[in-house]
Amino acid sequence: MIKVRFSASRPAGAHCLILPVAKSGLDGASLPGDASVLRAAAKAARFEGEAGSSFEQHIGHEAGAQRLVLLGTGAGSAEDLEKAGGALSAKLLTSGEIEATLDVSGLSASAEAVARMAAAAALRSWRYDTYRTKLPEAQKPTLRDLVIVGAPEGMDAAWAHYSALVQGVALTRELVTEPANVIYPETFVERCQRLKDAGVEIEVLGEAEMRAAGMGALLGVAQGSVREPKLLVMRWDGTNGAQQKPVVFVGKGVTFDTGGISLKPPAGMEDMKWDMGGAGAVAGAMLALAGRKAKAHVVGVCGLVENMPDGNAQRPGDVVTSMSGQTIEVINTDAEGRLVLCDAMTWVQKRFQPEYMVDLATLTGAMIISLGHEYGGLFANDDGLADKLTAAGKAVGDPLWRFPIGPAYDKLIDSPIADMKNVGPREGGSITAAQFLQRFVDEGVKWAHLDIAGMVWASKPGAVWDKGATGFGVRLLDRFVADNFEG
């Protein structure tokens, strides 16, 4: 991932120079060299300054030829600048350039908007080539540094926030991208030990502690694997005790999901390494919040298990007793995420008595059928909380779409032999999954469930990610905290 730094003047040398150009602003843009020729060439290439578009030309320089990139910034909104920052990285990452200078001195934008643009450039450059030993030279990243010149006042504070976000998203992507033989409950916890350096308190419950607590639902999922389950608890209090009740985030961390005895089809099963995307988002958000010293009290909990089909695996028809005391008939062992979440939710409510609790999970394929890969699904028992999460998602580019819950859906998961079953009928599958989780929300707790099954992994590049792990949820949770729980 490229490093971003700021300078008062352009560095010496023939490094790539990037100049922002607003939509339809080419004629008024300040350009080096023969500006009239450059404008004519750009117009001939149909460059009009649309956000994320670019025009490239080499110009003369005392140290040799210099690559000049005109970067479209559209109307100059924060969203347009983010798109431009991502496009910058996509264009130059493997270009052979080692350092690039982005001169924003002519850009009428706030420090926050420029920081968001810089963060987009860093995020779009994120790659995970650890296991690629024969990558052709032309495909290897070369760009290492992005120097931003002419940034507005307040840049230090703005970048401190966004650079922490970049690190949080990078952690999430790393966790989601690693294969399941590398990231499993124990090693997920090990990767998150770095949060201690940022001031996060970490507590880990193993199988014995969870059994003593009565987490029969979570342990039922884990019993088919040789990997020991873990409950990872991360606590950041930037209020020095002023906020008694923390905001709680709970993440589904199924580090690999075969479906258990209700085995998934082989085609595409390799994707289930990212079935811990909710837990990954929670870990990344906690790193981001601590990294920027958020003035809020936040607890993140990750229920970490592997769902495997060995001779000790739970069977369809088994009945398990959750930590809450409610019993569950397991109809489908591939509906395992809700069994993990329900015990994690019960534990964190008993321990911290939160007023707000948000869970994140790659919970249902039905959510992808409903929303594709454009929105995460949102379910909530409180309109105010739903509105706050929706607003936060819209502001940062992690969009959510709200779905209904209610008694008509809830009765669909009643069981004839237990308190409930872990799946309902085929129709409304995402909704009945949310209804299941709602049964484990304590009275008075404002709760939201984010089904992000379609959002944690992308088959095509986006504004701030390449193909692969997106880091969805980190920026959303950070903005949700910043807007609602920090003074």
Query: How long, in residues, is the chain?
Result: 487
Residue of 10, 211, 264, 394 marked catalytic: 264
157: in domain: no
Q: Which domain holds residue 248?
A: 167-484
392: in domain: yes
Q: Helix, strand, or coil here: 19?
A: strand
What are the Cα distances from residue 479, in Å, to 201, 209, 483?
21, 34, 6
**Residue 452 DSSP label:** -
What pLDDT was estimated at residue 150?
A: 96
What pLDDT was estimated at residue 13?
A: 87
Which pTM was predicted? Answer: 0.97
**At 93, which CATH number?**
3.40.220.10
pLDDT along the chain (487 residues), means of 10: 95 93 93 91 97 94 89 97 98 97 95 98 97 96 98 96 98 98 98 98 98 98 98 98 96 98 97 98 98 98 98 98 98 98 99 98 98 98 98 98 98 98 97 98 98 98 97 98 94
What's the rounded Cα separation, in Å, for the pair 43 and 45?
A: 5
Is 264 in the active site?
yes
What pLDDT was estimated at residue 33?
A: 82
Is 421 in the active site?
no
161: in domain: no
Domain boundary among 150, 179, 213: 150
159: in domain: no
Q: Are 482 and 396 in contact (CB under 8 A)?
A: no
162: in domain: no
201: in domain: yes
Residue of 338, 388, 475, 479 marked catalytic: 338
How many folded domains does the chain comprise?
2
**At 377, which CATH number?**
3.40.630.10
Q: 149: closest CA among 187, 107, 182?
A: 107
385: in domain: yes
Per the structure block, which two tokens stand in for 376? 């995460």
- Domain match, 303 and 413 both: yes
